[in-house]
Chain A
Amino acid sequence: MFMGDVIAIVSGKGGVGKTTVTGNLGIALSELNCSVLLIDADIAMANLSLLIGLKTPPITLHDILLGSSSVTDAIYDGPKNIKIIPSGLSLSTYQRVDSERLITVVNELRSKFEYILIDSPAGIEKNVLAAMSASSQILLVTEPTAPSVADAFKAKIVAERLNQRVMGVIVNKVSNVKGEISDKEIMKMLELPCYGKIPYAEDIRQSFLLKKIKPVLIHNANGSSSESFRAIARKITGKDSITSKNKNKKKRGFFAFLARIFSRKSK
């Protein structure tokens, strides 16, 4: 019996792309032949099931946390062999659920999957603490902006208070415009390795505008955004090395500077 890796996707700030990262990263891990379960722990504002394309699942995480259904009844099939436990959309059941039971739910499933990805809510409230406590590692998602990095930092402090390991950070919505904080600066500020950068790309935006919403790895499997998710998945599985502060040393000098200008202009 093996113990699967449980990774909570946390950000602090809302709208940075936790659900997008969870869904697409799950598919990317599944493409690497890993058994993957996604849990939508955003109990109040659940929408992972929408991204994955589940149509109103009858039994959800709400029912499990209320104790009215067993864990296995709420596991559904997603694209590319991933499994998903969606959260309910009902506000009445949301108010009655005990999010702390998530820890027991995850422990029950740990031996059945290689990777369990928990899509955490925004903020640092009780539901986020439950997602963090249920996980074995935490992956922060941030935009390259000051408010987002500040909130990711707060989430990191909360994780440390719970004695949880923060494995690294993913920088999402990178568009290389003036004022954006670079991934190197983010790594320095958060004192964490960077698992990857995901571009602020049109194909990700488009994947939400379709009549049937699809993860970008399905919608545009060969695009650069999909490749970014695959690169992160390879790092998580240990097939690629992680970018750390030391390995990502910026080349100095006038010619290196010119090279950076031209490489950026060509993007």
Chain B
Amino acid sequence: MFKSFTKMITKISNKLLNIEDQSYDSGLSNMMCYKPLNLYSKDITDFLKKLREKHLVNDIIITDLDGIVIASTNRNLKEGFKSAAMYNYINSEIKELSIILIEANGWQIIFKKDKKVYFLKANDRLTKMEVLVIIKDIENYLSCVV
């Protein structure tokens, strides 16, 4: 009884005094529904899919230096082999290579870390900072799982 009376008085007062209206657009509250991703997964492919979502890239492929696919989000073995071959070729021409960025059908980003070649496909060019974060995420995952 007292609660409903309080509510009524509050509503009338708000109208009369023109205050306390702190409602905001529903579009804003919809946008705020985002929750940070929990990257952890026992399955590496599942982890890479989550990583792809986190960093807004289209595909992530990890191969060894011979082009054998270790893990991939798209199961395209040919693409993994191609990326390792491309890395090895450019590395033979340009010493101290860190990251290769190629613009062709979006962006293709290739880099090597600990005898593994990482191949990312994205709609936009990633900065070195973003690539380093992806490497760190993968390293953290591998150190937890292995």
Contacts and interface: CB of A to CB of B under 8 A. Distances in A.
B128 A100 contact: yes
Contact of B25 (A130, A146, A161, A182): A146
Interface in B120-141: 127-130, 133, 136-137
A126 to B, nearest CB: 5
Contact of A130 (B10, B28, B129): B129
Contacts of B31: 150, 153
Interface string A214-225: 000000000000
A132 to B, nearest CB: 8
Interface string B31-42: 110101000000
B93 interface: no
Contact of B28 (A133, A146, A257): A146
A158 B127 CA distance: 13
Contacts of A189: 28-29, 32
Nearest to B5: A254
Contacts of B91: none
Contacts, number: 64
Given A150-B31, A163-B136, A179-B21, A133 B129 contact: yes
B13 interface: yes
Contacts of A257: 6, 9-10, 13
A32 interface: no
A261 B19 contact: yes
A185 B22 contact: yes
Contact of A160 (B24, B36, B136): B36
A261 B13 contact: yes
A162 B25 contact: no
Nearest to A126: B127
The secondary-structure label for the interface of chain A is: helix
A77 interface: no
Contacts of B5: 254
A149 B28 contact: yes
B82 interface: no
Nearest to A185: B22
Interface string A224-267: 00000000000000000000000000000110010011001100
B127 A163 contact: no
12 contacts: A126-B127, A133-B129, A146-B28, A149-B28, A161-B55, A161-B130, A162-B130, A178-B21, A181-B22, A254-B5, A260-B20, A261-B13
Interface of B: 2, 5-6, 9-10, 13, 17-22, 24-25, 28-29, 31-32, 34, 36, 54-56, 127-130, 133, 136-137
